[in-house]
Chain A
Amino acid sequence: MIEVDGKQVPWSENWTMASLLETLDNVEFCAVARLNGRLVSSPKFAETIIPDNSKIQLLPLVAGG
């Protein structure tokens, strides 16, 4: 299991941030997420593997300075 924005989601092996987002609705604004506290940005979603028991927060639109 992993936790995505406070909700429990079953975990799959070799899941990446990109493949996780494909399964979720309404995430077109998600360019940045926190994976176990660390920031991951959209250019790295495809290469970022999600370990089991991860905690993920999808950050809202980046607003700049």
Chain B
Amino acid sequence: MSQINLKEIKAISYKKATIKKGYTDQSLRVNLDANNIIINPIEEKIKNKFIGGKGYDLWLMWNAVKASTKWNDPENAICISSGPLGGTPGYPGGGKSIVTAISPLTGAPIDSNVGGYFGPYKKFSGFDVIQVDGKAKEDTVIFIDGIESKIKIFEAKNLPSDSYELSDTLTRYFDEDKPVNVSVVTAGPGAEHTFFGCLNFSWWDAGRKRVRYKQAGRGGIGTVFADKKIKAIVARYGAISMKSNNPADFDGLKLVTKTHAKEINELDPKQNRMSLVGTTHLVPIMNDHDCLPVHNFKFGSHPESRVIGEEVYEHIFDKGFDGCWKGCTVACSHGVKDFSPFTGPYRGKKVFVDGPEYETVAGCGSNLGIFDAQTILEINFYCDAYGLDTISVGTSLGFVMECFENHLITTDHTDGMDLSFGSRFNALEIIHQMARGEGFGAIVGKGIRQMKQIFAKDFGADMAFMQDIGMESKGLEFSEYITKESLAQQGGYGLALKGPQHDEAWLIFLDMVHNFMPTFEDKAEALHWFPMFRTWFGLCGLCKLPWNDIVPEDNKNTPEPAKVMKHIGWYADFFSAVTGRKTGPDDIITMSEAVYNFQRIFNLKMGFGTREHDTVPYRAVGPVTVEEYESRQKRYDEQLKEKYGLDISTMTSKDKVAALRQKREEQYELLKDAVYERRGWNKNGIPTIATVKRLGIDFPEVMEVLKKNGIE
């Protein structure tokens, strides 16, 4: 490769803001139309209401975009923020970044919570949040240098095209001597050619002396990044300590950090062993509970899943410290050394694969009928290198494979490729095509919602069947859990603001296994409390895993074990210690509720955010086909007889599928009613005036959007 060429086209020096109690109280805007670099103060009232992280991102985006803004309009803004607690070394999960943009898949705001060092480095360089808008004419690199207090925009030539090599090259370019000072955000060629491009956020792994990556995967923010011709955003900063956030109560911060970290050190080995196996322990657990997606979410288990779970990956993962944040004792971000791909541009070379996590194993493994740990690693590697979201890739390919097996599409449409379940080489070839923007892969890269239109219009495929089996809602592909037997989790997906991602609420076990929420009101309460609490991690710059993946030994004796109240108490102490705002567990919910409702109204502003958009495909609710019904006939027959009181003696399987569907779809609509009521929304799923006033988000522009939608 020729020498990389970065031509400086704009540079400013700035006076670095002093961090006070977790905040710099400044935002940075980079406008690529005019190459403007603008530093703005953040007002106290915005800080108090939006807290930071996703809250700041959404506020800046709200002001940047119009109702008519599309994902590829210049005013679409990519915002990245780590909240006030982000950048606390040693606090488990204490260094996340939250990224938002208008999504190419959904047309509405999307948010992604991601590890790596970028968010904290950017904050300590002087900016709580960065907004990048406009569109560059040439490939561009943005450099935030918190050591020299300079911001630079470069025109870039001869950069490697894939994320894997690009992050490494830029890390060494910007600080050859101390690569640990650099974190790089990149996309890749897949992000250029698909609608589900992801962003890779890097950190320097000092033990292995290499760049590592975490992905802001969901909703195609990488695609927006590539469309703006951004090759990379780089942050550089020096040493970080627990004092870097200038906390209000340093001793309090030290105490709560030590307490939480110590508990994880002691209990993770006895519980999920995430420091050894990451989240791959979930594969056998989900399989045994019939919740692991198999063959496009048709089934929930498969006998061969044992070869793609923790028992295999524990031995493949490279041993060493795997925290995607400094000193995170969960240290679950594992990887595989010296992997040699058998296809594509890296064929035969040795690479390091960051992953896989549960979602990738389930989405790109069992869901595609691929029960081969090596192929899953290769898919994981190329998705990261190309900048593709493994969840959307897995769920989209599952849909394609089911369409293929049902002859809705044929080899005439797939460039001659057999795309039956289990076709691992052809699945990989589709991924390479996505990166090149060629062939059938270019169609798959548009995501399920657009594929349904294309298959129906151009290939004459049955739209009604595709609506039932296409695992997307709001335009976003489902993450990797089977929800057929958990009404609450159907709501957890269908009522999630950005689309079916499990980060708002994961209620499957509470609902399905433990039956702790038998009534609609119980489910509605859970679908209020959990999304509100979990939103808070995104406001503060934290990872959710240390909250409830490792729990105190006496947690089961508490009144509400699922909430892990002891940890919530620690999080409240953490917030109080850094910001000086005396905070209790209830305050956490109130903080989140304001931002959560604001995001719902943001969806409304963009033309979504009402009841009709909270629908899910029937595959998420119950068995679509006779094959599916008969595979779990005993379960479904019993429900029809006992739960719904039907006489099924003369019914065919087809009749039973229809009867069960009617009942389950009714239940889902009743659930929506109950959740809307609990959240203070009207029957159409819109926050009422009383709700926005109670939460203090009754800004004139918010009231204007509500008024336009008949809420006065």
Give the interface of A toward B (CB within 8 A): 5, 26-29, 31-32, 38-44, 57, 59-65
For the complex, give the distance between the alpha carbons of A43 and B513 in Å.
Answer: 9
Task: Tell me whether A41 and B288 are in contact (CB under 8 A).
Answer: yes
For the complex, give the distance between the alpha carbons of A63 and B530 in Å.
Answer: 12
Which 9 A/B pairs are nearest by Cβ-Cβ distance? A64-B506, A41-B288, A63-B548, A60-B551, A62-B509, A31-B513, A39-B284, A63-B549, A65-B502
For the complex, give the distance between the alpha carbons of A52 and B514 in Å.
Answer: 29
For the complex, give the distance between the alpha carbons of A49 and B288 in Å.
Answer: 17
- Does B311 sit at the interface, judged by CB under 8 A? yes
Question: Taking the nearest CB of chain B, how far is it from the CB of A38, in angstroms?
Answer: 7
- Does B319 sit at the interface, judged by CB under 8 A? no
Residues of A near B290 (CB, < 8 A) are 43
Using a CB-CB cutoff of 8 Å, which residues 510-524 of chain B contact chain A?
Answer: 510, 513-514
Task: Tell me whether A39 and B310 are in contact (CB under 8 A).
Answer: yes
In the complex, residue of chain A having the shortest beta-carbon distance to the beta carbon of B545: A63
For the complex, give the distance between the alpha carbons of A26 and B549 in Å.
Answer: 19
Task: Tell me whether A44 and B288 are in contact (CB under 8 A).
Answer: yes
Question: Taking the nearest CB of chain B, how far is it from the CB of A45, in angstroms?
Answer: 10
Residues of A near B548 (CB, < 8 A) are 61, 63
- Does B270 sit at the interface, judged by CB under 8 A? yes
New A-B contacts (5) at CB < 8 Å, excluding given A29-B514, A40-B288, A57-B270: A39-B284, A39-B288, A57-B271, A63-B548, A65-B358
In the complex, residue of chain A having the shortest beta-carbon distance to the beta carbon of B489: A64
Task: Tell me whether A63 and B271 are in contact (CB under 8 A).
Answer: no
Give the segment of B168-176, B225-233, B434-442, B555-563 that binds chain A: B555-563
Question: Taking the nearest CB of chain A, how far is it from the CB of B424, in angstroms?
Answer: 24
Q: How many of chain B's residues have a CB under 8 angstroms from any CB in A?
A: 35
Interchain CB contact (< 8 A) of A39 among B281, B555, B561, B562: B281
The interface bits of chain B over 213-234 (1 if a CB of A lies within 8 angstroms of the residue's CB, else 0) are 0000000000000000000000
- Does B183 sit at the interface, judged by CB under 8 A? no
Task: Tell me whether B289 and A31 are in contact (CB under 8 A).
Answer: yes
Residues of B near A44 (CB, < 8 A) are 288
Residues of B near A42 (CB, < 8 A) are 288-289, 513
- 13 A-B pairs with CB atoms under 8 Å apart are A31-B285, A31-B514, A41-B285, A43-B288, A43-B289, A60-B271, A60-B556, A61-B548, A62-B282, A62-B509, A63-B548, A65-B282, A65-B480
Residues of B near A62 (CB, < 8 A) are 282, 285, 509, 513
Task: Tell me whether A31 and B557 are in contact (CB under 8 A).
Answer: no
Question: Taking the nearest CB of chain A, how far is it from the CB of B390, in angstroms?
Answer: 13
In the complex, residue of chain A having the shortest beta-carbon distance to the beta carbon of B505: A64
Using a CB-CB cutoff of 8 Å, which residues 274-288 of chain B contact chain A?
Answer: 279, 281-282, 284-285, 288
Question: Taking the nearest CB of chain B, how far is it from the CB of A4, in angstroms?
Answer: 12
In the complex, residue of chain A having the shortest beta-carbon distance to the beta carbon of B508: A64
Residues of A near B551 (CB, < 8 A) are 60-61, 63
Interchain CB contact (< 8 A) of B509 among A26, A27, A38, A64: A64
Interface centre among A27, A28, A62, A64 (most CB of B within 10 A): A64
Q: A29-B561, A32-B285, A41-B289 are in contact. Are A59 and B271 (CB under 8 A)?
A: yes
Task: Tell me whether B557 and A26 are in contact (CB under 8 A).
Answer: yes
Using a CB-CB cutoff of 8 Å, which residues 357-387 of chain B contact chain A?
Answer: 357-359
The interface bits of chain B over 493-511 (1 if a CB of A lies within 8 angstroms of the residue's CB, else 0) are 0000000001100101110
Residues of A near B244 (CB, < 8 A) are none
Using a CB-CB cutoff of 8 Å, which residues 249-271 of chain B contact chain A?
Answer: 270-271
Task: Tell me whether B506 and A65 are in contact (CB under 8 A).
Answer: yes
- Does B27 sit at the interface, judged by CB under 8 A? no
